[in-house]
Copies of this chain bind each other. A is one copy, B any other.
Amino acid sequence: MTEPGDTGLTHVRPDGAAHMVDVSGKAVTKRVAVAAGVVETTPEVIALLVDGALPKGEALGVARVAGILGAKQTPLLVPLCHPIPITGVDVDLVAEGTEVRITASVKTTGVTGVEMEALTAVSVAALTVYDMIKGVDRAAVIRDLRVLEKSGGRSGEWVRDA
């Protein structure tokens, strides 16, 4: 069968209307997607996040939990995204230099890929980091939110060019 989007926009019918594309004929396979993003801030803020009086991990841990919960909210946030049973989520945050680098890996056994869940996990974790640092750096920027790799399904393995 033809996958949605091969010949145009995913989720848009030939008549131009948005819809949630029918995936009932697609194979149930194990699928993984990894996404990443960066919160750019100042060295002083990074120090507060990792070296300060704070129990290491509490601040970044809040963002991790938010990202995991965010992955589960994906189909309620992204209108045309299919609800799928996520079978695993890892969210990692590394604070170093002027950056908090965030990576999310999401797994499922289902009929669609999980790149939207991985991207949503990173987005929500990044928003949560911003929320905690905005009092000291409201100019912080979230950047380079992107899919790094995905596997499973008809299109097989894909890894982003370096």
Contact B12 A54 (CB under 8 A): yes
CB of A149, distance to nearest CB on chain B (Å):
10
- The answer to whether A134 and B76 touch across the interface, beta carbons within 8 angstroms, is no
Q: How far is the CA of A106 from the CA of B30 in the complex (A)?
A: 25
Given A77-B73, A145-B143, A146-B140: A5 and B59 interface contact (C-beta under 8 Å) = no
Name the B residues within 8 Å of A75 (CB-CB): 72
Residues of A within 8 A of B (CB): 3-6, 8-14, 16-24, 30, 37, 48-49, 52-59, 61-62, 64-66, 68-73, 75-92, 107-111, 115-116, 119-120, 123-124, 126-128, 130-136, 138-147, 150, 158, 160-161
